[in-house]
Amino acid sequence: MSTAAETTATPAPRAAGPKVALFATCFNDTMWPETLKATVRLLERLGCEVEFPMEQTCCGQMQTNTGYGKDAAPLVRRFVDVFDGYDAVVAPSGSCVGSVREQHATIAREVGDDALLDRVEETAPRTYELSEFLVDMLGVTDVGAYFPHRVTYHPTCHSLRMLHVGDKPLSLLRAVKGIDLVELPGAEECCGFGGTFAMKNADVSIAMGADKARQITSTDAEVVVMSDNSCLAHVGGLLSRHRSGVRRLHLAEILASTEEEQL
């Protein structure tokens, strides 16, 4: 941590940062607007010009992963239409970005649309999960955040194994002022959400989630943080049912929190 960062909680905004399109993802847009507001606040604080194209909807992950890939084709078309021409598309969701980067091309191939495939191959590599964008594109790990609480982090599977974000989220968290970051035992094991898996194989999903919840409470953390609200909703739902008192927060919300504007 630099001396400057210690004295000023918020780094100076860049004069002319990149123009960023926020991909809200349908789930966050509908259920977790606070995560998106935090993402906007954070990116703007770091000097980005954030736009929210109103015509956006969904990446089609639910259809694709449940076996309705062809039904996701209109959503893929909409995605490339809406996000064409931006320097970067950023979403606070590992699994939705995973869907864009790893599955949109497969869908375009499946429906035999070569023109769509070309456009996917142009848009998909410019679509980033939040921590990737911060570390790789903006080149920052200390985003000037302040969060004086005991926190544990679960790296969601699609961030970890589809996007290979590695320890980028952790390096961002480590730089947060005041944070007491504790390691989560069995962190790399899936929480059991898995989209429609949570419904189709509810018993196994709950058994996995219960183990994850137990490991989270074993750390005595006040807050569990992830970069996917879907996994958080699943694990958070279990923690809440057991009245564990552990708070669930998205990575964006912690990174957006500052001394002036505390979460």
Partner 1 sequence: MGMPAFPEAAEEALGKTQQRHNLHHATHTIRAKRAGVVGELDDWQALRTAGADAKDEALAHLADYLEQLEENLTANGATVHWARDAEEANRIVTALVKAKETDEVVKVKSMTTQEIELNEALREAGIDAWETDLAELIVQLGGDLPSHILVPAIHRNRSEIREIFLREMGQVGRAAPEDLTDDPARLAEAARLHLREKFLRAKVGISGANFAIADTGSLVVVESEGNGRMCLTLPETLISVVGIEKVLPSWDDLAPMLQLLPRSSTGERMNPYTSTWTGTHDGDGPQEVHVVLLDNGRTHVLGDSIGRQALRCIRCSACLNVCPVYERTGGHAYGSVYPGPIGAVLNPQLRGTASEVDKSLPYASTLCGACYEVCPVKINIPELLVKLRGAVADQERPSAESAAMAAAGWVLSDPRRLGAAQKAANSVGRLLGDRTIRTVPGMGAWTSARDVPTPPTESFRQWWARERGTQ
Q: Which residues bind partner 1 (CB under 8 A)?
A: 24, 26, 28-34, 36-37, 52, 54-58, 60, 62-72, 74-75, 78, 103, 106, 110, 157-158, 160-162, 188-190, 192-210, 233-234, 236-238, 240-241
- Between 72 and 221, name the residue whose CB sits nearer to partner 1: 72
* Residue that has been written with the tokens 């790789």 in this structure: 136
* Nearest to partner 1 of 39, 131 (CB atom): 39
Quick one: 253 exposed, middle or buried, by C-beta within 10 A (0-12, 13-18, 19+)? buried
Query: Is the Cβ–Cβ distance between 131 and 169 less than 8 Å?
Result: yes
Read off the amino acid at residue 89: V
Is 59 or 170 the residue whose CB approaches partner 1 more closely?
59
Tell the smallest beta-carbon distance from residue 148 to partner 1 (Å).
Answer: 25
Closest approach of Cβ 106 to partner 1, in Å? 8
Q: CB-wise, 13 or 74, nearer to partner 1?
A: 74
Q: How far is CA 87 from the centre of its chain?
A: 19
At its nearest, how many Å lie between partner 1 and the CB of residue 91?
12
CB of 254 to partner 1, least distance (A): 18
Residue closer to partner 1, measured from CB, 38 or 135: 38
Residue 259 CB coordination number (10 Å)? 15
**Based on CB atoms, which residue is closest to partner 1, 78 or 150?**
78
130 versus 179: smaller Cβ distance to partner 1: 130
What is the nearest approach in angstroms of partner 1 to the Cβ of residue 141? 25
How far apart are alpha carbons 251 and 38 in whole angstroms?
9
The secondary structure of residue 129, as a DSSP letter, is E
- Rounded to a whole number of angstroms, the minimum distance from the CB of residue 33 to partner 1 is 4
203 HSE (CA, 13 A, CB side): 0
Q: Report long-range pairs for 179-183 (Cβ below 8 Å, ≥24 apart).
A: 179/147, 179/148, 179/149, 179/151, 179/254, 180/148, 180/149, 180/150, 180/151, 181/151, 181/152, 181/153, 182/150, 182/151, 182/152, 182/219, 182/220, 182/221, 183/152, 183/219
CB of 178 to partner 1, least distance (A): 27
